[in-house]
A and B are shown apart, each in its own frame.
Chain A
Amino acid sequence: MKYFLEIVTKPDNIPIVALLFLVVFYTWFAFKKARKNDSQELPEEAKLDDKIQVWPNLVRVEFLGTLIVFAILAVWSITIDAPLEEPANPTLTPNPSKAPWYFLGLQELLVYFDPWIAGVILPSIIIVGLMAIPYIDINPKGNGYYTFKERKFAILTYYFGFLILWVALIILGTFLRGPGWNFFLPWEYWDPHKVVVLNNVDLSEMIGIPTKNPDNSLNIWATLFGFSFVSGFFGILGAWHYNKFKKTETYKLMGPIRYWTTSLLFWGMAFVVLKIILRLLPPVLGAYPIKYVWVTPWFNI
């Protein structure tokens, strides 16, 4: 427990603890407002649509908010010092080496993906995907008020991406990853010499196709298998949903470009989850964890 408490109370990690509580609170709070709006004909916000003057009604709120922020920051800055460790030393690598806390979700993904995916491709897709949201979500409902009923898919997807894939992975990466980026439960001793069996296998090996030939060259059949697995994942799931969806009114309104962008982003997110499961689940079932699903001479996924 000592190590866990040490890492949780580290000055630089206080924001994560705060974030955890704030995110849980606001998720509950927004959901409560959404349920209330959903249960009545007019959303609450529509009942408060009479115009009032900014001075003093809004300026007062802003002023109070400013005071509260200053009070919190002043107390925080007086009581807790920002960290200043030993001088920079390029020859002495700390173990574990961690990025700033807001990037630890991405660093955690390095366990499941090679750096070019976890560190470059996924962040780029997240940014582009977020920017695409207003253009692919053409549901006119729920504009300017809290609701759940009217936008279930959009809200559940955002909850999953933000709460699980972003916040929960940050918390896992910060608090439960110790030396060697090994997993430690809160009460465990952070043993820098913890022995972890590296018995990851590739998915092709799981079904009996060795990734490497006896002469250590790449087995072409493993590459082909991986290609068909990845394209099959996107192809089959994409086609399955398309067939189900193409007759609907929503599809006609969306058109093919919006639909396939959404489909690709959604199944891409599912693929990240699939790779996390393929690594974590097999050991529980007594099988080997999966390292790569697709190995090629140039990149591995």
Chain B
Amino acid sequence: MISPMQKFRESEVYKSIFRHKYDDTQRNRALQIVDNVFLHLHPVRIPRHATNVGFTWGMGGITFLLFLILTLTGVILMFYYRPTAQYAYEDMKYLMNDVAFGPFVRNMHRWAAHLMVITVMLHMFRVFLTGSYKPPRQFNWVIGVILLVLTFLLSFTGYLLPWDQLSIWAVTVGTNMARATPLLGHDGPFGLELGMKIDNDIRFVLLGGTQVGPPTLLRFYVGHCIFLPLIASIFMVVHFWRIRKDGGISGPDTTKKTF
């Protein structure tokens, strides 16, 4: 007597979806990784110390997970938010008071963003302390530094979007630094000599005006939701790919007998 489940497992539909059996064999375990588009980011086998959380702290993986959570919650928030000075704050109030699960989604986006800044810094700390930037992984460290900067920029541009007192003044303080850029800022060394004024220097380009205003909101919104995530994704792809190409997670070179 064949059970319906068994029958289903042998059907054409099942076999077209699941390419291999699930018996606990080495072959099936390997196929589980290479036959899955998401899991095949991993190699099939890794050294045992790479699964030790005490070694990796899991911070790189958590950072990527947080990026995915932020993408998902961010897209949901975009349904309720209009990046204009007229509506932005009202939309926030609406989200926080009238949208089902609105506060939950927004809180998760906010706290995951803060957490991501922390996990990126801790990931970098761990990579430094285990000397994992050493050959052949030098260039992947450089990409990591770029991703760190992108994380700060993503968080900073997102900070403006609620359009409340906290956000515009934090962004005002932050972007005020740009006016002091040497050569390119009107308050910076040699800026005046190069003809920099408040309405043509680098800060003006950044803000779309002489102070944080509606054009800044739109600029930061597009940067936050499209430009920066896209750039960050590209660098992340390279970052992950290079981990594989540089020989997987770092570890002591056991071919040498001396340390």
Contact = CB atoms under 8 A, between A and B. Distances in A.
A130 B96 contact: no
B26 interface: yes
B131 to A, nearest CB: 4
A137 interface: yes
A197 interface: no
Interface residues of A, number: 94
Contact of A49 (B108, B131, B172, B252): B252
A244 interface: no
A93 B54 contact: no
Contact of B51 (A61, A76, A144): A61
Contacts of B253: 143-144
Interface in B1-54: 26, 29-30, 32-33, 39, 42-54
Interface SS, A side: helix
A80 interface: yes
Contact of B47 (A49, A76, A118): A49
A108 to B, nearest CB: 12
A216 B122 CA distance: 50
Contact of A115 (B46, B118, B138, B177): B177
Interface in A130-186: 130-131, 133-135, 137, 139-147, 150-151, 154-155, 158, 162
A103 B172 CA distance: 13
A139 B259 CA distance: 12
Nearest to B48: A48
Nearest to A86: B165
B241 interface: no
B227 interface: no
B61 interface: yes
A48 B52 contact: yes
B254 A46 contact: yes
B208 interface: no
Contacts of B92: 84
B103 interface: yes
Contacts of A114: 180
18 contacts: A15-B118, A23-B125, A49-B252, A50-B48, A52-B47, A73-B108, A77-B107, A77-B111, A87-B165, A103-B156, A127-B149, A134-B135, A143-B253, A144-B251, A145-B251, A147-B131, A158-B125, A298-B190
Interface of B: 26, 29-30, 32-33, 39, 42-55, 57-58, 61-62, 65-66, 69, 85, 89, 92-93, 96, 103-104, 106-112, 114-115, 117-118, 121-122, 125-126, 128-135, 137-139, 141-142, 145, 148-149, 152, 155-156, 159, 162-170, 172-174, 176-182, 185, 187-190, 193, 211-213, 250-254, 259
